[in-house]
Structure 1
Amino acid sequence: MNTTLEKYLNTVDRHLKPLQVSERVDIVKEIKSSMIEMENEQLSPQEIIDRLGAPKELARAYLGDLITSKKGVSWNKFLCLCAFYSLVGLSGVIIIPALAIIAPVFIGCAFIAPILSAVKLANYLFHLGIPYMEHVGIVLSGIVELNPVVEFLLTLIVSALLYWAGRGAWKLMLFYIKSVSRTKEKISAAD
């Protein structure tokens, strides 16, 4: 067997450390036999690794299957359930509220900032005399005094970045909720 494939197997084995030695050996033997079958089909080592995916993800999939496939009560399953609910409980208290606040605030600022910057630009161009306009926009107090035209262009760039960051935070929150839900369904289905 190729040294690249051996390294792959060692990496998978390392990520399966939470399992008992016998279960780990069985899983590694199963993966090795799959690799040998693929080698017999004239696949290159890189193609075999591409088919199997990242070693960490493969090990994680085996760990998830073992958690959800075992029937009855066992200490390992009980400890895995406790770890899952503790991790979700603690991370959910931090992740969900933070992302739920960050996402709409960033998106809202992405829409409000260009409007305010446009008002400041109009005030500058037409000499409207709107009070407190010097406090609106990108302010670098004492360092650089920006022209309102340049400031408007910079605000558009920053607003685009804020919108993408807010949208990314929203998608990340939805991904987190869906992944926790899927894992919960797997664990519930195993019972």
Structure 2
Amino acid sequence: MISPYGREYLEKLNRYLEKLPDDERMDAVMEIESHIAEGIASGVPEPVILSRLGDPRKLARAYRSERMNGLKGVRSFKDVLSLIGFYCTAGLLSVMVVPVLAVVAYGFGFCAILIVLAGILRTCGVTWINMSIGPGMEIATEYSMLYALVVGGIVGGIAFASWIGLKKYLAFVSERYRRVIPGKQTETTV
């Protein structure tokens, strides 16, 4: 019977293996759990078994490394094309797409708020705020709020669409990363 200390070890191992696909992570944890149970059944004290296994973080790193090494030689043509597609979309394209969508989303969002605020202030009698459709086509003060709501709504809609596009693009790149490079994790997150 595995003690609460042993269960804690297995939970930590499970957490450190979180980047692996669920079935592989569960197989790894069950393998270690089986190893601990067999050791206990053969009379080896649980603390000795756990000390032989070492730090669960290092054990998880070894599992991930073994998995990545196993994948290197088994890449199919489809996997190679997936990698190329991922690096093309995540590399050069992201350098342009992410900043542009972020600037449009937040810049236009801020401008939409300022436009509506300007409409409120102009309706209240602030004279230094000018609103016009074009040269010599000044908006009458009584229509300032309506004009500000329409223009602010259009600009805000562009901001919202850009924000949604940014979220979808980042989700797409993250999903491609998980699909193309499963189990890849930086040392700082482990």
TM-score (norm 2): 0.52
Quote how far apart the aligned CAs of 1:170 are.
0.8
Aligned AA for 1:83? G
Match of 2:124, SS? helix
Quote how far apart the aligned CAs of 1:97 are.
0.3
Equivalence map 1:144-183=2 (5 Å): 144-183=137-176
Equivalence map 1:34-113=2 (5 Å): 72-74=74-76, 77-113=79-115
Q: Give the Cα–Cα distance (whole angstroms) in 1 for the partners of residues 178 and 73 of structure 2.
A: 15
Quote how far apart the aligned CAs of 1:76 are.
5.0
Contact between 2:120 and 2:144, CA under 8 Å: does it hold in 1?
no
Match of 1:189, SS? coil
Contact between 2:111 and 2:155, CA under 8 Å: does it hold in 1?
yes
Residue 180 of structure 2 corresponds to 187
Contact between 1:113 and 1:137, CA under 8 Å: does it hold in 2?
no
Runs of 5+ in structure 1 lacking a partner? 1-68
- Alignment pair present for 1:141 and 2:135: yes
Q: Give the Cα–Cα distance (whole angstroms) in 1 for the partners of residues 82 and 175 of structure 2.
A: 16
Quote how far apart the aligned CAs of 1:74 are.
4.2
Quote how far apart the aligned CAs of 1:87 are.
2.5
Contact between 1:111 and 1:159, CA under 8 Å: does it hold in 2?
yes
Aligned AA for 2:112? A
Match of 1:115, SS? helix
TM-score (norm 1): 0.51
Which range moved further: 109-118 or 94-103? 109-118
* Structure of larger gyration radius: 2
Equivalence map 1:8-19=2 (5 Å): none
Aligned residues: 114
Contact between 1:137 and 1:151, CA under 8 Å: does it hold in 2?
yes
> Percent same amino acid at aligned positions?
22
Residue 4 of structure 1 corresponds to none
Aligned AA for 1:179? F
1:108-162 deviation digits (Å, cap 9, x = unpaired): 1111112112222222xxxx6x4x33xx3334113x2321222321111111222
Runs of 5+ in structure 2 lacking a partner? 1-70, 185-190
Report which structure shows greater RCO (CA 8 Å, sep ≥6).
2
